[in-house]
Amino acid sequence: MKQKTDRMDKNMADQKRNYQKELERIIDGLEEGAKKPRLLLHACCAPCSSYVLEYLSEYFEITVFFYNPNIAPQEEYEKRASELQRLISQMPLKSPVHFLAGPYDPESFYEAARGLESAPEGGERCEKCFRLRLRRTARAAKTFGFSYFTTTLTISPLKNAALLNEIGRELQEEYGVPFLPSDFKKRGGYQRSIELSREYGLYRQNFCGCAFSKAAEEKKREIAEAEFSLPEFCERTAAFIDLDRIRHNVCSVLENAGRREGFVAVIKADGYGHGAVETAHAVSDLVWGFAVATADEALSLRKSGITKPVLVLGRVMERRYRDMILQEIRIPVFEPERAEILSETALSLGKEALVHLKVDTGMHRIGLPADEQGLSQAKKILSLPGIQTEGIFTHLATADMTENQAAFRQIGAFRAFTKQLRKEGFGIPLVHYANSAASILFDCADSALLRVGIALYGLNPSDECDYSPAGLKPALSWRTEISFVKTLPPGAPVSYGGTFVTEREMRVATVSVGYADGYPRSLSNRGEVLILGKRCRILGRVCMDQMMVDVSEVPGASEGTTVTLLGRDGGEEITMEELGALSGRFNYELACDISSRVPRVYLRDGKIVSVREPR
């Protein structure tokens, strides 16, 4: 038990680290005008190296170290090495970059992976592989007298940056060469790597590298083609929601927090676009209750048969008090005058109103002020007849930021406020302040409830912090299909305004989705989709109901071929975070904006269990 606690404590500490900021501090500390320090940069491929080279070549004299015995077959290994050398020769980097190839010794990888052939991607086999490659890099850095060593692997959203940095620190101690901490996907790094890959026409592989990952990706593609192709009853597009993944996220957040109960599933805005009613029924046995934004959202849950506690987070108007009381829906109170009206309504019905006192500790949205005036107002509310104060809560404004001191000040103010109420004889059963980010990153032992919204659906609360130890799994994938394929000659304008003009003969596919479905128009000429495991860029403007993509390099693409807008296809994945950042939005907004005319297809054990028709 102690071992598990120690591991959890270490994970908590690692999650609070911002490796990208650590790198920036090291860079800021380099002596201006002095000779650039020498960096041995382990690299696995050209796409992952592109942004890293562009970024670091201003500050370091870089030698790219290509040591990847995991890559198979040898033709693939040689192709990646050749493409990386081409990139180095063509990019206008800020200082010369050298290329050093390590030995191609696949037997060393197979020895390290022995017994782990069937391990899942991202698991123990990958950790062994990381250690093998970084150890050889650290050894070479010491042998050749480099100032630092690091790896491009943290550019990938699919790689655990905390684990890679932990391995780097261990090897730093062993070999005496400083490891350059990084999380290159931050600050838009991953998006920039996609842009550079497109600009230089880089070969983008559709699997991690090893034979085991290739086999796993091929299997996933077979499953995806079988299970995630559009069902016959879906005319043109569908969002697939994996309810098992949502249940996994509940259990994973609780386990990461060292708890078994007290989970509140925040399912406002139709469950962040995933479906509030369907999500509620899927996790009802795992949670204390639910939280929504409005009275109408709460009532729709009751109408669907949800009997567990439902807390409204936003202000409830007096005209809805009667319904809230009769349906035993918890509402926030923070104004004595309205609380008196609520009290009178409850007494007239011969029932008690269930309330949670809302305290404003710094969000400055709604709530009692966390001061003497607020204490006085709280005591008035708590003394009213017909009101049962079940809870008291606040909302943290910066828990998902690296600079989160304000969040801890909020928690401190909230604790002081509730302590004073208890001291004056007003004990409240449920004291809670933890949102998704705090539930994962902070020690929230004194928050009776964990109010988890975005993380419930497997999405990161922000791009500033590392949430990977919580083991979140995105629940939603979005697919459509090709409706038409044509070959265009050079000089052909595509879509409204002709903002894209073909420079060569191109195969162009029309895809059956547009901005009326919630796909961002701002991804015109910028975004990508996945077709048969390959990234295909959007050509021209996204239309209301359709858009065009380049399938010149996907000979198998034809009418009816599945197109992945969000989710995995083979070794490639487009995440909500990627699309959000690229479109100038963020993942919360993108999820909520998927239109109601897009059917929701719900899965359990990989099988369709229900469908919500377009509205």
List pLDDT tens digits, range 353-399.
999 999 999 999 999 999 999 999 999 999 999 999 999 999 999 99
Tokens of 372: 């003497």
- Does 1 have pLDDT greater than 90? no
Average of pLDDT values for 303-332? Answer: 98
Which residues are known catalytic residues?
Answer: 268, 496
Give the model's pLDDT for residue 290. Answer: 98
Do the beta carbons of residue 413 and residue 362 sit within 8 Å?
yes
> What pLDDT shows up at residue 187?
77
Q: Nearest to residue 459, comparing CAs of 592, 331, 296, 613?
A: 592
- Least trusted range by pLDDT, from 133-137, 185-189, 257-261: 185-189
| pLDDT of amino acid 228 | 56
Torsion from C-alpha of 467, 244, 216, 188, nearest 10 degrees: -30
For 73, the 3-state DSSP assignment is: coil
pLDDT recorded at residue 119 = 82
Q: Residue 189 half-sphere exposure, CB side, CA atoms within 13 Å? A: 24
**Structure confidence at residue 342 (pLDDT):** 98
Kindly tell me if the per-residue pLDDT of 284 is higher than 90. Answer: yes
Residues forming a β-bridge with 218 = none
Question: Contact 396/433 with Cβ under 8 angstroms?
Answer: yes
Q: Can you read off the two tokens belonging to residue 364?
A: 């400055």
**pLDDT tens digits, residue range 394-410?**
999 999 998 899 999 99
Greater pLDDT, 433 or 231:
433
Higher pLDDT, 229 or 188: 188
* 73 preceded by a cis bond (ω within 30 of 0): yes
pLDDT at 14 over 50: no
Domains and their CATH numbers in the chain: 2-215 (3.40.50.620), 224-239+473-603 (2.40.37.10), 241-467 (3.20.20.10)
Mean pLDDT lowest among 92-96, 413-417, 509-513:
92-96
| Least confident residue range of 134-148, 195-209, 455-469 | 195-209
Confidence tier at 220 by pLDDT (50, 70, 90):
low
- For the segment 32-47, the average pLDDT, to the nearest whole number, is 93
Quote the pLDDT of residue 117.
85
Residue type, 360: D
Place of tokens 């394929």: 485
Name the average pLDDT for the chain.
Answer: 92
pLDDT for residue 53 is more than 80: yes
Extract the tokens encoding 452.
Answer: 């988890």
Which strands form 450-452's sheet, in the order they lie side by side?
310-312, 289-292, 263-266, 450-452
pLDDT the model gives residue 5: 40
Lowest mean pLDDT among 66-70, 219-223, 423-427: 219-223
Instruction: Give the bridge partners for 263, in sequence order.
Output: 450
Asked if residue 540 lies in contact with residue 524, where contact means CB atoms within 8 angstroms, the answer is yes
Strand partners, 239: 478, 600
Closest by Cα among 541, 526, 572 to 205: 572
For the record, the structure tokens of 174 come out as: 């062993």
Residue 443 CB neighbours (<10 A): 13
At 563-595, the pLDDT tens digits run 999 999 887 899 999 898 889 888 999 999 999
Instruction: Please enumerate in sequence order all residues whose Cβ is within 8 A of that of 20, keeping only pairs 6 or more positions apart, or say none.
Output: 182, 183, 184, 186, 187
Q: Would you state the pLDDT for residue 6? A: 44
605-608: long-range pairs with CB below 8 Å, 24+: 605/244, 606/223, 606/227, 607/227, 608/231
What separation in angstroms does the CA of 515 have from each of 530, 545, 595? 18, 6, 9
User: What angle separates helix 189-199 from helix 46-56, to the nearest 10 degrees?
Assistant: 110
Q: What pLDDT band is residue 13 in, cutting at 50, 70 and 90?
A: very low
Residue 272 — pLDDT band, cuts 50, 70, 90? very high
**Secondary structure of residue 377 in the 3-state scheme:** helix
Say what the pTM is: 0.76
Which residues lie below 8 Å from residue 10, measured CB to CB, with a gap of 6+? Answer: none
Paired with 538 in beta bridges are: 549
Torsion of CA 157, 127, 13, 141, to 10 degrees: -90
Would the pLDDT of 10 be above 70?
Answer: no
Average pLDDT over every residue of 305-326: 98
Is the pLDDT at 16 greater than 90, yes or no? Answer: no
Q: Is the pLDDT of residue 3 over 80?
A: no
Q: Residues for the chain: how many in total?
A: 615
**pLDDT at residue 121 tops 50:** yes
pLDDT in tens, 490-500: 999 999 999 99
* Structure tokens, 149: 């060593």
